[in-house]
Structure 1
Amino acid sequence: MGPNEAVLVDVGGDPDAIDRCLTELHIKKIPVLLLTHFHADHVGGLDGVFKSRTVSQIRVSPLGDPPLTTEYVSQVLRDRNQSASVMTYPEQFEINGIKFTCLWPSQLILGQGSDANNASVVIAVKVAGIDILLTGDIEPPVQEEIVRTIRPINFEVIKVAHHGSKYQSSDFAAWANAEIALVSVGKNNGYGHPAPETISLYELTGSQVFRTDRNGDIAIVVRDSKIRVATHR
């Protein structure tokens, strides 16, 4: 990635928070912005991304659900004279040697949990010889479909699906086989995330678990093909 550039996957729920984060990281250019799905905690901060920054390309889930937040995204993009295009399996793109591969959705699985969650775009990222899996909020029906249809990759890092909710597939955790599992979750949230059984599941697969409610900001640093996890509260 070039100086002051970043590919951004989801934007949180608060425009001021994402603007502050990107400012602290000195990010001025976003070649690709991916919104995995349209729940407010993943797209609500969108307007803050465009403050003093350029966004070249915007990719989204194929399912415009829930309608209210989907319309919010559409309105922000209209106001900025931007447009978005859908991302689905097996699309790939590469930016400055970093490879992004869409593993899901290859179809829509409806009526088995949250339709919006299960339409999340799932991305495998290969950077500096390290494989990273970004899972959106996919639930067990999709997790199990990925296990059934995609060959194992043995990821070094996984972003645990749906903020570490209790709805996880043990087969999916074993399929990912990640050294490091990251849980993006708000402190003292009303959903009880992350579930203790989900933390145990990933620890039992051999993952070292880091969670934002306890560890604060988390950065994965790759040097000489070795991974270091940096945290900051």
Structure 2
Amino acid sequence: MSRTPSLNNLLPGSWRKDPARKWANLVLFCLIVVLLFVLITPRFSSRDKAPADWQWITCDVGQGDAHLIRIGNSSAILLDTGDNPQALKTCLDWAGIDELEAVVLTHEHSDHYGAYSWALASLPVKNVVVSPYFASEKLNQLEGHVSRQLQHQPALHSLEQGSSVGFPLSNHRVQATAEVLWPPSEPQAIPGESDSSSWTNNTSLVMRWDIAPLNSQEEHLTVLTTGDLEAEAAHSIITNYGSALPSAVLKVAHHGSRGSGTDLIIAVKPQLAVVSVGQGNSYGHPHPSIMEFLEKQRIATKRTDQQGHIAVSSHDDGLHLITSR
């Protein structure tokens, strides 16, 4: 039977004869190991509050989507709301946000807009952004629940493929820009049977964000957001915008469902993929095939059901991640 050699036997004879030198070298060896570990491990930790330098947050709102794009010290854009007001409030408090420059609603599924009325009633909201396929009747119904409580009605903006917008929408210094890659203005170009759940998924606003740093220690952060987009619509986006898609962060489409496909992941080439998903959900999200593909591509992946809220900032040494658990 072979025996594993002891560390002492692996050291040169002169080291074994000089205990002081041996221990000094052991300390040096340990320091080198620790340094290598720090250098190769993603900067990832958890805390009770979001870091002061966050630029993007994916909120843990259960089985739904809600994300924050940093605009100021305590203001942000809310991209989708989830349908759990208390969960959304927890994320806003974690992020230190008390004012919304805009609420962007990607499409007409309640796990993406269900807490919109609560957001309007609870925080100052300056603007609302939707696609042409988010029915005005639906918005009127949602806003009607709180209209008497509002000091002013938020301005409504409709965006479609080819649009570009800078935030804040006032004359202040632009902190974030968004290029709208989907949906197209022609309903017949949207895959799926009209008014089906699949068709609604494919009306999702797909936006490529460029988020400016708040201080000189950060760099611009690029994020591609996808709503509940399915694979067939993703192929059209790849055809039209392939070379413009690469981004540091990808919001994985449709909570990582199998139908979202993997082609968009390949085209975006993200350093980080975030998955908004509820723990133990009945849909089987995220699908194992999507998670296995992300792992095979060696893309760092964080999930709200496992890590909670996910805060991201971009620095010259890479992405910094902080989670709430």
Is TM > 0.5 for Structure 1 vs Structure 2? yes
* Match for residue 178 of structure 2 among 90, 100, 124: 100
* Match for residue 134 of structure 1 among 222, 225, 235: 225
* Match for residue 124 of structure 1 among 193, 199, 208: 208
Of residues 155-164 and 50-59 in structure 1, the stretch that sits farther from structure 2 once superposed is: 50-59
Taking only the aligned residue pairs, the percentage that are identical comes to 29
- Mapping of 1:4-23 within 5 angstroms? 4-23=74-93
Task: Report whether the alignment pairs 1:42 with 2:112.
Answer: yes
Of residues 177-186 and 95-104 in structure 1, the stretch that sits farther from structure 2 once superposed is: 95-104
Q: Which has the higher contact order (CA 8 A, sep 6+)?
A: 2
- Mapping of 1:58-207 within 5 angstroms? 58-64=128-134, 72-76=141-145, 78-79=147-148, 80=150, 81-82=153-154, 84-95=156-167, 96-107=174-185, 108=187, 109-111=190-192, 114-127=198-211, 128-152=219-243, 153-207=245-299
* Structure 1: distance between partners of 2:279 and 2:252: 16
* Structure 1: distance between partners of 2:262 and 2:91: 33
Shift of 1:17: 2.1
Residue type of the alignment partner of 1:117: N
Shift of 1:98: 1.9
Shift of 1:140: 0.8
Of residues 181-190 and 112-121 in structure 1, the stretch that sits farther from structure 2 once superposed is: 112-121
Of residues 167-176 and 29-38 in structure 1, the stretch that sits farther from structure 2 once superposed is: 167-176
Shift of 1:62: 1.9
Shift of 1:205: 3.0
Of residues 213-222 and 2-11 in structure 1, the stretch that sits farther from structure 2 once superposed is: 213-222
* Match for residue 100 of structure 2 among 10, 26, 30: 30
Structure 2 vs 1, CA of residues 175 and 53 (structure 1 numbering), >3 Å: closer, same or farther?
same
Larger relative helix fraction:
2
Shift of 1:29: 1.8
Give yes or no for contact 1:12–1:18 (8 Å, CA) kept in 2: yes
Which is greater in Rg?
2
Of residues 93-102 and 151-160 in structure 1, the stretch that sits farther from structure 2 once superposed is: 93-102
Structure 2 vs 1, CA of residues 132 and 77 (structure 1 numbering), >3 Å: closer, same or farther?
farther
Structure 2 vs 1, CA of residues 199 and 58 (structure 1 numbering), >3 Å: closer, same or farther?
same
Shift of 1:139: 0.4
* Structure 1: distance between partners of 2:94 and 2:294: 31
* Structure 2: distance between partners of 1:157 and 1:222: 10
* Structure 1: distance between partners of 2:114 and 2:281: 17
Shift of 1:172: 1.5
Aligned length, in residue pairs:
231
Of residues 186-195 and 166-175 in structure 1, the stretch that sits farther from structure 2 once superposed is: 166-175
Q: Which residues of structure 1 form unaligned runs of 5+?
A: none
* Structure 2: distance between partners of 1:77 and 1:52: 10
Q: Secondary structure at the match of 2:295?
A: helix
Supply the RMSD in Å over aligned alpha carbons: 2.1
* Structure 2: distance between partners of 1:78 and 1:116: 27
Residue type of the alignment partner of 1:138: L
Q: Which residues of structure 2 form unaligned runs of 5+?
A: 1-70, 168-173, 212-218
* Structure 2: distance between partners of 1:82 and 1:76: 14
Residue type of the alignment partner of 1:49: A
Q: Secondary structure at the match of 2:242?
A: coil
* Structure 1: distance between partners of 2:143 and 2:276: 25
Shift of 1:188: 0.3
* Structure 1: distance between partners of 2:143 and 2:120: 14
